[in-house]
Structure 1
């Protein structure tokens, strides 16, 4: 199974719509990222960890929240950046699994690559996620276009006959 670590704030600052949302509310941008990544993870079957910096929050302890079967959100502890958390974790699991790190931080990309992970820029990830969103939308549209939603399918035959009589009598 592919494991993906996402540097949350790096992605928020790189994705156009999330960057716009962030201007009004960081919380809304985080929630939108989590929702988008959760859909992507469910479709692809990947295990994704979205890591947010909390290193500047005095007294902050590491906080983990399992959002779905495939997605976990992590807020780092005080004095720990998302980069250092990702580096430490990738170093621990290293080459035993297929690990990707999503960040546009070039130093972070180099370090995680040296530790066995595949690097992916935030913009590359954005385009991949958008492509999957398009596939999901297409599947949904295809599914619903095959289903008939006629009046005949929804009401009892005797009621349909009564309505037809009323229509003809006018």
Structure 2
């Protein structure tokens, strides 16, 4: 019996992507890093739902004292690295921990050094630009699906005779 293929995994270098995507970079440059981070997480959550990929986001907290932490938000796994641990190091560990014969792992980063190490571990690179195009494409398709669903909801209403509609309205108000 063939082994079930694992869901593909996308590991995202959060701050690297924030620095690469124009909309997120503008927020960061305006001193609104929390908003940039929240918007990235929201977009990746939509992408995860649409694509069927499992998404993990890693944020570098190298200079922040304290222990690294993990949280779940929008069904995404989000990691903030430990003090003195870079996002690249955490991503390498995650690739090692999640590597299985029947699973494809992608790492979204534009960091060249990190890319070389990741390739050596069997993961594939997805550039920040590629990921942005994928996320935008998924967003457009989601919007089209929502619009189509809304339009079909209006067209499937059942016509009622006026007297029956009045009876239903009376019941509704009681």
Question: Shorter-chain TM-score category?
Answer: 0.7 to 0.9
Alignment check: 8 A CA contact 1:14 1:123 kept: yes
Alignment check: 8 A CA contact 1:4 1:100 kept: yes
Q: State the SS of the aligned residue for 2:99.
A: helix
How many residues of Structure 1 are paired with residues of Structure 2 in the alignment? 158
Per-residue CA shift, 1:93-119, capped at 9, x if unaligned? 335321100000111111101101011
Return the TM-score normalized by structure 2. Answer: 0.83
- Give 1:34's aligned residue: 41
**2:41 is the alignment partner of 1:45:** no
Larger Rg: 1
- Give 2:134's aligned residue: 128
Which residues of structure 2 form unaligned runs of 5+? Answer: 1-6, 167-174
Moved over 6 A (4+): 152-156
> Counterparts of 1:93 and 1:138 in 2: how far apart (Å)?
34
Segment drifting more, 25-34 vs 91-100:
91-100
Change (3 A) 1:40 1:160: same
- Give 2:92's aligned residue: 87
> Counterparts of 2:23 and 2:57 in 1: how far apart (Å)?
18
Deviation, 1:46, is 1.1
Return the TM-score normalized by structure 1. Answer: 0.84
In angstroms, what is the RMSD of aligned CA positions?
Answer: 2.2
- Give 1:20's aligned residue: 26
Which residues of structure 1 form unaligned runs of 5+? Answer: 162-170
